[in-house]
Amino acid sequence: MKKILISLLAALGFMAGAQASSGGIAWDKVPNKTNDLASLQNGAKLFVNYCLNCHSAAFMRFNRLKDIGLTEQQIKDNLLFTTEKVGETMVSAIDPRQAKEWFGANPPDLTVIARSRSAAGQGTGGDYLYTYLRTYYPDDTKASGWNNLAFPNVGMPHALWELQGKRVPLYETVSEHGQEVHVFKGWEQVTPGTLTPAQYDQAVGDLVNYLQWMAEPAQNTRIRVGVWVLLFLSVMTLFTWRLNAAYWKDIK
């Protein structure tokens, strides 16, 4: 038993180590707010306003947003552009071929991006997205004028730059095994955004929260049901164990 436990722990440790070393920079942890409806609603609003211009979410219908507490009227008034109906899926405004020409890459469909990035070993997916959307910096050598620490040479410009403002990464030179290496040290805000850094982190947290929900809308229900199932099983185990003891008491 002890042996099994030790090898299980070792396997877990190995998995954690493998995840941590898969990227150039460490992913920041996205705040866990998957049950927070206000956060999900704010995320949906940011998504529709800042991401749907280029990306689609072809497997998400607008009326599914009722699951995060929005009424049909609120969806109509705040999240739909003139031509859309609530029963429609989230399609992007851009022609994919044109996008490829402009950005050098196709904007992927974002319905399940949180899940696909987690499958690609990029942390929980959510952590990667949270880091990615907060590590843009201006770069004149790029066609879009932007570059990104989490996704070097990305084709996507900084869609949220008005909110975040412009920041540049700072490096320090340290010597490692006798070699000079540049190590990322932190950020310097060059021009302010309409949000403070703390507000921006919160907004991106909400947006990623929404992306995670969209990738798995049934997740919250499943966790709730799962907790009850586990409780039920523990009570049943206890019950069966005592019943078994009572049953055999006189025979032993």
User: Site residues (CB under 6 A) for ligand HEC?
Assistant: 50-51, 53-55, 99, 103, 105, 107-108, 110, 113, 117, 129, 133, 151, 154-157, 159-160, 207
CB of 18 to ligand HEC, least distance (A): 18
SS3 of residue 40 by DSSP:
helix
Smaller CB distance to ligand HEC: residue 75 or 156? Answer: 156
Smaller CB distance to ligand HEC: residue 140 or 250? Answer: 140
CB of 2 to ligand HEC, least distance (A): 41
CB of 153 to ligand HEC, least distance (A): 7
Q: Is 125 left (phi over 0), alpha (psi -120 to 50) or beta?
A: left
Smaller CB distance to ligand HEC: residue 57 or 226? Answer: 57
Smaller CB distance to ligand HEC: residue 140 or 176? Answer: 140
SS3 of residue 167 by DSSP:
strand
Per-state percent for the chain, helix, strand, coil, to nearest 5: 50, 15, 35
CB of 20 to ligand HEC, least distance (A): 18
The full DSSP string for 172-201 is: EEEEETTEEEEEEEEEEEEEE-SS-HHHHH
CB of 7 to ligand HEC, least distance (A): 33
Q: How far is CA 62 from CA 66, 78, 80, 90, 169, in A?
A: 8, 11, 8, 7, 38
Enter the tokens of residue 57. Answer: 């979410």
CA distance 83 to 61: 15
Smaller CB distance to ligand HEC: residue 65 or 243? Answer: 65
